[in-house]
Structure 1
Amino acid sequence: FVTGILIVSALMPAGAGQTAGSKRTVNIGEELRSITATEKGSASWRLTAWKNTLYMIKSNPLFGVGIGNWQFHYPLYARKGAVDKDFNEERQAKRAHNDYLQITAELGFPGIVLFLWFMGNIVYIGLRLMFIERNFLLAFMGIVGVTSLLSLMGHAIFDFPFDESLPPFFTAVVSAMVVYAYMNSSQKIEKKVSF
């Protein structure tokens, strides 16, 4: 069943979700070139902002600059690691476009360690359910949890999903689902994971 869903999803046409009136065509080669072009565009800006954010982290490694304060401290670092050509009085960045760097800059190393510890525990539990649990529904909850969280964590490398309202809520729901499956596991999975 799951394999069938994955195969159908992979074979689904790229524009299947578009409305009948939309005429957008996608040139995959052009899209890949624009994503990997680091000398201009959003990739260039992200690399610049990330370099500058590393200097912000270096200046405030233990406590960070405070939740939501990256945007207020970034002007001080906009030319530290690399010159942010897009930064001026009218146009100022509000986010680092990398949640891991932003969390570290705002909460320091203890904040990012706690975040990664939490996410890592949920992924670990989900993996254990996937490979050990014999109850299909509970194992499926593990699969959904792992794939959902890993997808979201991958997205967080290049964007800021955890700074929006829905992804943290989604993360909480998925985490609760994985913990529920873990607590109701029919197999005697070693419960060495600490909460």
Structure 2
Amino acid sequence: MNLIWQKFTLSYLPLKEYLDTSYLHGSLVGVLRSWRQSSILMQWGDIIAATLVSLVLVLAPFTVVHTTLLGVLLAACAGFWLLLTLSDEVNSANNLFATPIHLLVLLYWGVCLVATALSPEKKAALEGLINFTLYLVLFALCARILKSPRIRSFLLVLYLHVSLFVSIYGVRQKFFGAAQLATWVDPESTLSKNTRVYSYLGNPNLLAGYLLPAVILSLVAVFAWRGWLRKGLAITMLVVNLACFRFADSRGGFIGLAIALVAIVLLLRYWYADYLPRFWRIWLVPILLGCFVAFFVIMFGVSETFRLRITSIFAWRKDSSNNFRINVWTAVFRMIQDFPIFGIGPGHDVFNQIYPLYQLPRYNALSAYSILLEVAVETGIVGLISFVWLLVVIFNTGWLQLQRFRQLNSVDGLWLIGAIAALVGMLGHGFVDTVWYRPVVNSVWWLLVALVASYWNPVVSDHKQQGNSLHPELGIN
């Protein structure tokens, strides 16, 4: 059974050997290396790449920035990644850096390509495929440059500072008021006058989706950053991000954060197990989870706004937002039944053209309001299976590298814990919403996936280790 799991998760896939014998790899990578050796600008290739990614992270949260500009930046990232790959040294450590995650990303992209070719609205699906491809290449570029500890630290700190700036403005909206740009609360409920903050993003659910990883990573920073000044900054970030997250009043965000906190408690318990006395090894997780429950109960009793938002989750069709989502999901299930294998094609444009044929009257929607349903309707059952496989490989890769970091007692393990917990939380939020597909959230998602991939180190299988112990000369480089 263990061998089957290892094969399914590509845990011991000999990628280096495959790439060394690949004709496509040998004929493309390094084809421009002579030009790169003579180019002064390309000597700073990774720095330029980090600058492009930084611009995406800095500009994405601000609605004043037109999406066309972000598209141009993503296209620049894609073009520069291609340039770096074609001009790599053949024996470079960065030489077409590939991991099991890359292979599953490529597989999922291939399914999207087939779904585009079979789509009833090919032009709209092609546009969706191009947009999706840009994010995948952003992932490839981030996975490459995040191998550098200095760039990795810079980009994580940059995201945390940008999110802090976004949160400060959101908290200010709570105290000084903010125009409600849409009906985000049931107009018939007692919360109809409640102010839900949205900061620069224009949508409180989108704000919560953006801040969820920031909350988790700022919590990790409290453990990872050394020195009281840095820890004080991390605590400030955590408090402000949590406050803004709470004021956004996103029910999907609450679900995602709860799942992420459970994940991070379990992972931190594993990380610090050797440093804990026997009592704390046994009772730390129950005590922390009990504290979370106690805090939830206190908030539930003290804050009427929080209490009503939570109870509305279980109101089923009595809440207008719930009723809207249920009606959209009903129509989406019918779409999946009619396009079960490869779906209607990727992107919201093709969804907007097909969905009106299935929608119930007065229930217009731009998406399926669930990541899994969105994947299923866009790429069919084949796409859903490949997407779930990708998620399994991401988390398995993260777990294997976390075990390695724990043995090395490396602080990188803490950031890996943060990435895993944040990804789990974003999936939890995305189960009942599709803010995941918006540029500001999607860019952070692929940054975190790239962070997990950047830590990847080939794992030697037990069989190969036994072979090397029997023939030690085979292990000599």
Return the TM-score normalized by structure 2.
0.32
Q: Is the 8 A contact 1:98 1:156 kept in 2?
A: yes
Aligned partner of 1:30 in structure 2 is 308
Q: 1:73 aligns with which of 354, 358, 362?
A: 354
1:21-60 pair list within 5 angstroms: 27-39=305-317, 40-60=319-339
Q: 1:173 aligns with which of 429, 447, 450?
A: 447
Aligned partner of 1:108 in structure 2 is 380
Aligned partner of 1:81 in structure 2 is none
3-state SS in 2 of match to 1:94: coil
In structure 1, C-alpha distance between the alignment counterparts of 2:447 and 2:221, rounded to whole Å: 24
Count matched residues. Answer: 170
3-state SS in 1 of match to 2:308: helix
Q: Deviations over 1:16-51 (max 9, x none)?
A: 449xxxxxx752221112222212311111112112
In structure 2, C-alpha distance between the alignment counterparts of 1:176 and 1:14, rounded to whole Å: 23
Aligned partner of 1:139 in structure 2 is 413
Aligned partner of 2:93 in structure 1 is none
How far is the alpha carbon of 1:155 from its aligned partner?
1.2
Q: Could you say if the C-alpha distance between residues 3 and 173 of structure 1 is closer, same or farther in structure 2, counting changes exceeding 3 Å?
A: closer
3-state SS in 1 of match to 2:455: helix
User: What amino acid sits opposite 2:339 in the alignment?
Assistant: N
1:77-96 pair list within 5 angstroms: 77-78=358-359, 84=360, 86-87=362-363, 92-96=364-368
In structure 2, C-alpha distance between the alignment counterparts of 1:32 and 1:117, rounded to whole Å: 32
Correspondence 1:153 to 2:406: no
Report which structure shows greater RCO (CA 8 Å, sep ≥6). 2
Q: Could you say if the C-alpha distance between residues 63 and 13 of structure 1 is closer, same or farther in structure 2, counting changes exceeding 3 Å?
A: closer
Q: Could you say if the C-alpha distance between residues 139 and 37 of structure 1 is closer, same or farther in structure 2, counting changes exceeding 3 Å?
A: same
User: Which structure has more helix as a fraction of its residues?
Assistant: 2
Q: Is the 8 A contact 1:57 1:105 kept in 2?
A: yes
User: What amino acid sits opposite 1:75 in the alignment?
Assistant: P
RMSD (CA atoms): 3.1
3-state SS in 2 of match to 1:110: helix
In structure 2, C-alpha distance between the alignment counterparts of 1:177 and 1:35, rounded to whole Å: 33
Q: Could you say if the C-alpha distance between residues 166 and 64 of structure 1 is closer, same or farther in structure 2, counting changes exceeding 3 Å?
A: same
Larger Rg: 2
Q: Tell me, which stretches of 5 or more residues in structure 1 are unaligned?
A: 19-24, 79-83
Q: Is the 8 A contact 1:141 1:178 kept in 2?
A: no
In structure 1, C-alpha distance between the alignment counterparts of 2:240 and 2:448, rounded to whole Å: 28
Q: Tell me, which stretches of 5 or more residues in structure 2 are unaligned?
A: 1-218, 224-234, 246-302, 463-477
In structure 2, C-alpha distance between the alignment counterparts of 1:13 and 1:30, rounded to whole Å: 23
In structure 2, C-alpha distance between the alignment counterparts of 1:117 and 1:94, rounded to whole Å: 26
Q: Deviations over 1:129-150 (max 9, x none)?
A: 3344323223223212211211
Q: Is the 8 A contact 1:126 1:141 kept in 2?
A: no
In structure 2, C-alpha distance between the alignment counterparts of 1:189 and 1:36, rounded to whole Å: 48
Q: Could you say if the C-alpha distance between residues 190 and 49 of structure 1 is closer, same or farther in structure 2, counting changes exceeding 3 Å?
A: farther
Aligned partner of 2:402 in structure 1 is 130
Q: Could you say if the C-alpha distance between residues 166 and 96 of structure 1 is closer, same or farther in structure 2, counting changes exceeding 3 Å?
A: same
Q: Is the 8 A contact 2:376 2:384 kept in 1?
A: yes
Q: Deviations over 1:103-156 (max 9, x none)?
A: 110111122222222222111111223344323223223212211211111111
Return the TM-score normalized by structure 1.
0.73
